């Protein structure tokens, strides 16, 4: 076949195809494509309750927690606790060697007794003017000094008995009998874990949602199926200038002892924003700095400007421009224009935003 035949054949075929298309094209008017309404999908905008949820990370602390240290330097004489033992307030934990302190107390008591006897004899001589009033005052002052020395000696003796200041569980023992200890020595720890203090931080936007005595729920990765309930005890008076968050403290009963100081827990908080008007996100048509939606009323399209609020996954809050019950185009926004008659293929209602996971902000 001659190569020059190909262009001629192509032209003939194209002409025949175009003629066939023109003969099969529907005419405009009733029953033709040009007369049919555009098909779109719409959703009804409604007022829905909006609840913000936030998950805050907190650290568990003992209700009371101290390191047991001696107040004087001495040798450990007795250890009266077992590691991990529950002790009551006032229970003896450690006894220190006290022989020198006992001797010092005896000397102080003897000196006090002697000064009191001298003062009493001097008082009996005051009426005979055998002693001056100034000398008598000096003797009385000496008695008071000696009384103070006795009190100080007894306090030093009391310091040789290290007792639990509150009910709690003692930790590991860090000294042995015969150890020389001073005020820097940690003998053990004492924690009151009957109640756990949970410290957590909340973003600034959630400050108004926090209040003293409000209920909270906390969870731990150690006990994934367990919910620990508690109440907010206090809220800090200042926000962190860097993180823009406020610190709160909740009390969680821990009678079973499952929670340990230092554990991480997550706190679930909710904030009810009331009823808000929401529309599907895909119904919003941006043009420059303005936002529009196509409203369908009795099958006719209206282009309307709207003011948007916060966004929720898949949805957006409408602050102005729409009323509850109106229908907006969610699919087919690219093929409609104001005044166009449309056919609704599917009338869908917006899903409740409260069912959508949200983040505080």
CA distance 143 to 355: 80
The pLDDT tens digits for 278-323 are 899 999 999 988 999 999 998 899 999 999 988 878 889 999 999 9
Q: Which of 10-14, 101-105, 182-186, 273-277 has the weakest average pLDDT?
A: 10-14
CA distance 18 to 144: 126
In the structure, what pLDDT confidence band is assigned to residue 30 with cuts at 50, 70 and 90? very low
Domains defined along the chain, listed by start: 34-52+275-355 (2.40.420.20), 54-63+188-273 (2.40.30.170), 70-96+161-186 (2.40.50.100), 98-159 (1.10.287.470)
CA distance 19 to 199: 80
Q: What is the pLDDT of residue 5?
A: 35
Inter-CA distances, 200 with 232, 240, 350, Å: 10, 12, 35
Q: What is the pLDDT of residue 352?
A: 47
Q: Do residues 51 and 270 make contact, with C-beta atoms less than 8 angstroms apart?
A: yes
Largest Cα–Cα separation, the chain: 162
Neighbours of 70 (CB within 10 A): 20
The pLDDT tens digits for 227-285 are 999 999 999 999 989 989 999 999 999 988 899 999 999 998 776 677 889 899 999 99
The pLDDT tens digits for 62-81 are 999 999 999 999 999 999 99
Q: What is the pLDDT of residue 36?
A: 63
Q: Do residues 267 and 56 make contact, with C-beta atoms less than 8 angstroms apart?
A: yes
Torsional class of 84: left (φ above 0), alpha (ψ -120 to 50), beta (otherwise): left
Q: What is the pLDDT of residue 134?
A: 80
């Amino acid at each position: 076949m001659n190569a020059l035949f190909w262009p001629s054949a192509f032209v003939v075929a194209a002409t025949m195809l175009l003629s066939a298309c023109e003969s099969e094209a529907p005419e405009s008017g009733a029953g033709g494509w040009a007369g049919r309404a555009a098909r779109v999908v719409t959703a009804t905008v409604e007022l829905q309750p909006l609840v913000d949820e936030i998950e805050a990370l907190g650290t568990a602390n003992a209700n009371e927690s101290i390191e047991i240290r001696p107040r004087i330097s001495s040798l450990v004489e007795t250890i009266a606790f077992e590691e991990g033992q529950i002790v009551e307030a006032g229970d003896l934990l450690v006894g220190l060697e006290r022989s020198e302190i006992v001797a010092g107390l005896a000397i102080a008591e003897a000196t006090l007794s002697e000064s009191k006897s001298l003062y009493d004899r001097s008082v009996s001589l005051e009426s005979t003017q055998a002693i001056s009033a100034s000398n008598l005052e000096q003797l009385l002052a000496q008695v008071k000094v000696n009384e103070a020395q006795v009190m100080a000696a007894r306090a030093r003796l009391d310091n040789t008995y290290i007792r639990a200041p509150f009910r709690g569980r003692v930790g590991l023992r860090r000294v042995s009998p015969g150890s020389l200890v001073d005020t820097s020595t940690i003998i053990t720890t004492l924690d009151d874990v009957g109640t756990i203090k949970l410290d957590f931080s909340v973003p600034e936007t959630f400050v108004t949602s926090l209040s003293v005595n409000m209920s909270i729920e906390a969870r731990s990765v150690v006990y994934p199926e367990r919910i620990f309930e508690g109440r907010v005890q206090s809220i800090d008076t200042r926000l962190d200038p860097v993180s823009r968050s406020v610190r709160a403290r909740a009390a969680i009963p821990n009678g079973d002892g499952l929670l340990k100081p230092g554990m991480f827990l997550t706190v679930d908080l909710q904030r009810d924003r009331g009823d808000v008007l929401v529309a599907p996100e895909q119904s919003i048509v941006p043009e420059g700095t303005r936002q529009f939606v196509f409203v369908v009323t009795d099958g006719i399209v209206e282009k309307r400007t709207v003011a948007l609020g916060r966004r929720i996954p898949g949805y957006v809050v409408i602050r102005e421009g729409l009323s509850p019950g109106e229908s907006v185009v969610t699919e087919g926004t690219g093929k409609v224009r104001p005044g166009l008659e449309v056919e609704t293929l599917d009338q869908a209602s917006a899903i409740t935003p409260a069912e959508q996971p949200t983040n505080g902000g």
